[in-house]
Amino acid sequence: MQRKLTAEFLGTFLLVFGGCGSAVLAAAFPGFGIGLTGVSIAFGLTVLTMAYAVGPISGGHFNPAVSVGLMVGGRFPSRDLIPYIIAQVAGAIAAAAVLYMIASGKDGFSLAGGFAANGYGEHSPGKYSMAAGLVAEVVLTAFFLIIILGSTDVGVAPGFAPLPIGLGLTLIHLISIPITNTSVNPARSTGQALFVGGWALEQLWLFWAAPIVGAIIGAVIYTKLLADAAKKA
């Protein structure tokens, strides 16, 4: 279990540091800003690379919603859920702390810029409403779980799962960065919100509730409607 939790800590750390770091440090860098597309790719690459690196140890969840969805889908024991979530949140907070140390080393840095925190309403990049953010996070997390469960199911060619999962997360970010800055991961949202404080902590509830609800929906859809068909194929 110690090895599994260490793997989840490190995987979540890189996801937050790589994804949020690209948003904070590189998205608008003068003359070479990577923009929304670059940030989306960065998030996908973090999951892809760490799923290959430590996925065989822990399963490569790096996300409390994924752990919940896999538990509902019968792929993950409920006794391990809380330890996994603690490791994931700890990894996200540690990554946010390191990112803050780096970002604050530049003159003019301010948390008022958002620090890649998730938000809705006035704190949505595109000023989308709470309802829009809620729907986006639920739907996209549900599809993320369907991608994960489908690409790791029995009969699927082994060794390729990180590719569709990483590409799926990239697509999710391409769609929803303008809406909520993309969560689909309560740990990722928590680390950034703790440093931003104020509005980010007030809105954090949505970025726990919506991804977890979405993960449960995705797991139920896959296991009840798709799993048998996947096995027969």
Domains and CATH numbers, the chain: 2-228 (1.20.1080.10)
User: Is the predicted pLDDT of residue 169 greater than 80, yes or no?
Assistant: yes
Place of tokens 């980010």: 200
Instruction: List all residues 6 or more positions away from 194 whose beta carbon is below 8 Å from its beta carbon.
Output: 93, 96, 201
User: Is the predicted pLDDT of residue 151 greater than 70, yes or no?
Assistant: yes
Dist. CA 119–CA 127, nearest whole Å: 9
Residue 139 vs residue 155, higher pLDDT: 139
Q: Cβ atoms within 10 A of the Cβ of 125, count?
A: 16
**Which run of H or E residues covers position 179?**
helix 162-180
User: Is the predicted pLDDT of residue 233 greater than 60, yes or no?
Assistant: no
- What is the Cβ-side half-sphere exposure of residue 54, based on CA atoms within 13 angstroms? 21
229 band by pLDDT with thresholds 50, 70 and 90: low
Q: Where are the alpha helices (DSSP H) in 104-161?
A: 130-151
231 band by pLDDT with thresholds 50, 70 and 90: low
CA distances from 135 to 40, 171, 179, 202, 211 (A): 20, 16, 10, 18, 10
Euclidean distance between the first and the last CA atom of the chain, given in angstroms as a whole number = 34
Please compute the mean of the pLDDT values over residues 226-231 and round it to a whole number: 67
> Cβ(215)–Cβ(72) under 8 Å?
yes
